[in-house]
Amino acid sequence: MTWFADLRYVLRRLRQNPLFTAAAVASLALGLGANAAIFNLLDQVLFRSLPVKDAEQLVLLDSPGPASGMFNGDKVSRLFSYPMYQNLRDRGAGLDGLIARFPVGVNLSFGGRAEGVSGELVSGNYFDVLGTRPAVGRLLGPADDVVKGAHPVTVLSYRL
């Protein structure tokens, strides 16, 4: 029972010095809060898999260079042009599926107000390869990629 006596002694000393007690409690709270926030971030980014079919098999194709989708000497840019993507997709190259995506800023207007939001231009097979399903309506399909300049299709997320 010496631990009980030690605990009573510590509580008595903390009551005698309230400024030290407040500083100790504040530093413990900040430390625990920071650790919880960092763990939550790591859990979201590293430990949880993406909510798509076969997330562990996803690979990001990327190549270094400054010119978008163009050959620059013997270096190729980070971005693949759409014809480069089509060539890679049609050849197969041992891949089950290949998708294209490009982040863009778009304006969304509703109720007389316009607001800039983040969007992505994606290939028609984007949702098929990822294995996602819509809650309402339809997603893009490979047929949406066939006709150049056809009616645009937009997919909205819950977060938007």
For residue 30, the model assigns a pLDDT of: 95
What is the pTM assigned to this prediction? 0.57
Report which secondary-structure segment, H or E, holds 41: helix 18-42
74-106 residue pLDDT tens: 444 556 777 877 887 888 667 777 888 888 888
pLDDT band at 35 (very low <50, low <70, confident <90, very high): very high
**Residue 142 DSSP label:** G
Q: pLDDT tens for residues 103-145?
A: 888 888 888 899 998 888 888 888 888 888 888 888 888 888 7
Domain map (residue ranges) of the chain: 2-47, 55-145
**Cα–chain-centroid distance for residue 57?**
16
Query: For the segment 52-68, what is each residue's pLDDT rounded down to a tens digit?
Result: 777 666 776 665 544 54
